[in-house]
């Protein structure tokens, strides 16, 4: 098996793990910082998570095609490009949802989303780095 090729079930597992870990951090933090109930923040987190998981699957497949076509290795620069493009697309998709749910302007939603982005840029990089390392170890064990 090519170490860069992932099956659809693995992509789904990756997306779910990514979102669950993020929600465990962001729901209590967002509730505390923004003064909204954990329930309101939790529902928003679930909505955004659903959008993000869908985007993760689509974007991941497209980015990996680009990696193969360009024969890129997962260097720091490629990981930073991946995280930046992923999060940029997510901001574009999520700002209207945040504005609607929080009953705030698009500008306020953008500022809130920028705050979330400042969390997710390093989180995306670190999560994927750890995931890839654990996955590589798992694949090596399967070949022994």
Q: What is the model's pLDDT at position 113?
A: 87
Instruction: Taking residues 92-111, report their average pLDDT.
Output: 93
pLDDT of residue 3: 59
Mean pLDDT of the region 119-141: 90
The phi and psi torsions of 71 (rounded to 5 degrees) equal 55, 45
Higher pLDDT, 143 or 46: 46
3-state helix, strand, coil in the chain (%, to 5): 85, 0, 15
Give the whole-angstrom CA distance, residue 70 versus residue 110.
33
Q: How many angstroms separate the CA atoms of 58 and 55, rounded? A: 5
132 by Cβ neighbours in 10 Å (0-12 / 13-18 / 19+) ranks as middle
């Amino acid at each position: 098996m090519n170490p860069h090729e992932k099956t659809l079930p693995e992509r789904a597992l990756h997306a779910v793990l990514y979102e669950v870990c993020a929600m465990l951090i962001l729901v209590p933090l967002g509730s505390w910082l923004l003064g909204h109930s954990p329930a309101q923040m939790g529902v928003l987190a679930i909505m955004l998570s659903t959008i993000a998981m869908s985007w993760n699957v689509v974007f991941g497949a497209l980015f990996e095609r680009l990696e193969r076509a360009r024969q890129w290795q997962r260097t720091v620069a490629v990981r930073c490009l991946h995280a930046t493009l992923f999060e940029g697309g997510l901001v574009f998709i999520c700002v209207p949802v945040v504005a609607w749910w929080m009953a705030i302007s698009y500008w306020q939603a953008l500022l809130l989303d920028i705050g979330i982005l400042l969390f997710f840029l390093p989180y995306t990089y670190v999560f994927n780095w750890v995931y890839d390392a654990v996955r590589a170890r798992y694949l090596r064990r399967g070949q022994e």
